[in-house]
Structure 1
Amino acid sequence: MTESSAASRVLVRTEGALGRLTLNRPEAINALDPGMIQQLTEALERWRDDTDVQIVVIDGAGDRGMCAGGDVRALHGQIVAGRTEETAEFFRAEYALNAMIAEYPKPIVSIADGITMGGGVGLSGHAAIRIVTERSQLAMPETRIGFTPDVGGTWLLGRMPGRFGEYFGLTGSTMNGADAVLLGFADHFVPSDRLDALREALAYRADPTGPAEIVLLFDETPEPSALPASREWIDRAFSSDTIAETVSRLRAEEAADAAATADLLESLAPTGLAVTLDAVREARRLPNLRAALEGEYRRVMWFVTQHPDLVEGIRAQVVDKDRNPKWNPATIAELPSDAGADARDFVPQRSLF
């Protein structure tokens, strides 16, 4: 076995035929910073033509989760200080890594055990073989801070059955392991107490052309997802053309969860909701992940450079923690028609790819 420095925020090592990348910032649920993105990218570039590495596994250290996402406190500091080019560089590097994972010539196995949200989904959700466990909690919670899903999240959301993509994109709600498999955010459910044995099998007993067959030896059927019971009202409400109409339809539903969902949407940033609805629907029509990432990059950089809600959302939820954001506009009723247009059409100073 070869191993990187114990102080590294990404542990990079090989075990048999396996290249292992372990996010190693457990005190922050392995939240991503620019150095971690660089380490992951460099390791994958190095292993691309290394014949000794036949399969790659990406996972996270600690018991709390694979990755809670990006470091939004640092993002807030950059924007407030006017260092938006640093922000743009981080997103370009992160999205390039997301695309690399999706297009990698060797099988990448992601293990989304525990909390896996935002940027964590960007690492796990585009791998060739995506594993969840009974501890998994997956989400794209960006609307909770007045933002919009990125890291290829709109690509995954746009391919969920029915209108679950709009529902999970707008609400930022959490999926368990069974939900994630049902909705296409994961492929296999493996109990967490079998993960070490799975990694050993991938390293020392896997046919390099067939890691999926190895994973199937550990795959189990989880308890059924409860989501199908909610599909009818979700599809009715979230097929509407506007956020205001979605809320109106939710209010007309008899399901208690529908009313609670309406309450949640009315507490979130109206602009972030409108931009997210537009983004998920655009991604549903796009040909590939790279095109979806480009659409996300336009919208993200619009928030970073043109609109106050991202900074305000991080301030209220993470920095000051007063949980009292002042959105602009303040209510869904004040949204202009085609409220997602400015973000959709924004042209960043530097292109993504």
Structure 2
Amino acid sequence: MSEPEITSAKIGHCGLITLDRPRALNALTHDMVSAMAIALDDFAQDPAIRTVAVRSSSPRAFCAGADIRRVHEHGKEGRHDAQLHFLRDEFRSCYRINTYPKSYVALTDGIVMGGGAGISIHGAHRVVGDAVTFAMPETAIGFFPDVGASFFLPRLPDRFGTYLAMTAARINLGDMLALGLANAHVPSSRFDVLVEKFAAGEDAAKAIASESVAPPPSDIMKEREIVSRAFAFSSAKRIFTALADAAHRGSEFAETALEILYSRSPSSVVIALRQMQLGATLDLAQALNLEFRIAARILRSHDFYEGVRVTLVDKGDIPDWRPAIIDDVRAEDIDAYFAPLGDKELMLPAGLI
């Protein structure tokens, strides 16, 4: 029998959930999402549990995202219902974490990307270790920033959320704290001590504060002027132009950001920008409902399968994006991704405990 990919245990007053799929960097499968939901329900109903902590068994990654390879395979097999069943449960899990009745603590270190953000950022306490790396990498594979990114990214300061959504850029520990994606830095070597304090019944916020240390300075905040100016425009074309102007004036950061954007799926880049514009006025449930609409369409698109092929299957090829350039992305085609799904809507928060 295969080993479980996620485990849960009651340790005193702490409910501990451990992601344990290290070879796949804890990429989330449907079974893992389901197992986590069961554990969260059990801990919520146990009066002895005061804090629920989620961590990884591996220092390399908290969670690198959803198991996109498996989602890709389902689509190639024509199993679109299986794709959406997984995303439906994953999105519901994000909402469940956000509304969880007990202290929810994400102890994150190593890679935190995509779906890993969904099971950490929506919690009350987002603790980051020494080697954490964050990204919403979806535009690189012809997908889009999901798991509630339409809610949490637009609320970052200085248009950094739009920058992260469109470019899929990676940021570090200091950046995460400066932007508010995490709210405490605890050395990774002290994660076990934190769990012991939770188990002893210590208040989660007090325990985290007692173990927190000052984060290193943020690198990305040095570029706040360029980001806030360039990514404030309402069209992707104007953002590209603003970055090109800044690069011409000598900004290496702008030049790199522009090069990255040119490598991403043009359709995904425009979808991500639209998400950021709409998400600024949405609550989390509304954002997840919107993202489910996009997912239902994008999982049938050429760019998603091309992006996964180049990134995870064949590797190394130059993706054949369709359309290939930002100028050829039509507004009406982007509108179609955001259209209602009728009786197939996600419809959060209906039906949740």
Q: If the TM-score is normalised by the length of the shorter chain, which range does it land in? A: over 0.9
Identify the range of structure 1 (341-350 vs 100-109) with the bigger mean alpha-carbon deviation. 341-350
Q: Structure 1: which amino acid aligns with 2:323?
A: P
CA distance in 1, matches of 2:145, 2:303: 14
Q: Structure 1: which amino acid aligns with 2:294?
A: R
Is residue 155 of structure 1 aligned with residue 151 of structure 2?
yes
Output aligned runs, 1:26-105, within 5 Å.
26-105=22-101
Query: What is the Cα deviation at residue 275 of structure 1?
Result: 0.4
Query: What is the Cα deviation at residue 348 of structure 1?
Result: 6.3
8 Å Cα contact 1:156/1:184 also seen in 2:
no
Cross-structure match for 1:139: 135
Local SS of the residue matching 2:317: coil
Cross-structure match for 2:210: 217
Local SS of the residue matching 2:336: helix
Local SS of the residue matching 1:352: coil
Cross-structure match for 1:293: 288
Output aligned runs, 1:1-353, within 5 Å.
7-206=3-202, 210-253=203-246, 254=249, 255-286=251-282, 288-305=283-300, 307-337=301-331, 340-347=334-341, 350-353=344-347
Local SS of the residue matching 2:288: helix
8 Å Cα contact 2:12/2:201 also seen in 1:
no
Distance of aligned partners of 1:338 and 1:234 in 2 relative to their CA distance in 1, 3 Å threshold: farther
CA distance in 2, matches of 1:220, 1:124: 20
State TM-score, norm by structure 1.
Answer: 0.94
Distance of aligned partners of 1:271 and 1:6 in 2 relative to their CA distance in 1, 3 Å threshold: closer
Local SS of the residue matching 1:340: helix
**Number of residue pairs the alignment of both structures matches:** 344
Provide structure 2 residue ranges, at least 5 long, that are not aligned to the other structure.
348-353
How much identity, in percent, do the aligned residues show?
33
8 Å Cα contact 1:159/1:184 also seen in 2:
no
Local SS of the residue matching 2:122: coil
Q: Structure 2: which amino acid aligns with 1:319?
A: V
Cross-structure match for 2:351: none
CA distance in 2, matches of 1:87, 1:159: 29
Local SS of the residue matching 1:105: coil
CA distance in 2, matches of 1:269, 1:297: 19
- CA deviations 1:64-105 (Å, max 9, x no partner) are 011011111111111111100000000000011110000010
Distance of aligned partners of 1:348 and 1:132 in 2 relative to their CA distance in 1, 3 Å threshold: farther
Query: What is the Cα deviation at residue 192 of structure 1?
Result: 0.9
Query: What is the Cα deviation at residue 63 of structure 1?
Result: 1.7
CA distance in 1, matches of 2:156, 2:37: 28
8 Å Cα contact 1:279/1:344 also seen in 2:
no
- CA deviations 1:84-127 (Å, max 9, x no partner) are 00000000000111100000100100011110100000000101
8 Å Cα contact 2:165/2:273 also seen in 1:
yes
CA distance in 2, matches of 1:182, 1:349: 41
Local SS of the residue matching 2:177: helix
Q: Structure 2: which amino acid aligns with 1:345?
A: A
Query: RMSD across aligned C-alpha pairs, in angstroms?
Result: 1.4
Consecutive aligned runs of 4 or more in structure 1 exceeding 3 Å deviation: none
8 Å Cα contact 1:299/1:346 also seen in 2:
no
Provide structure 1 residue ranges, at least 5 long, that are not aligned to the other structure.
none
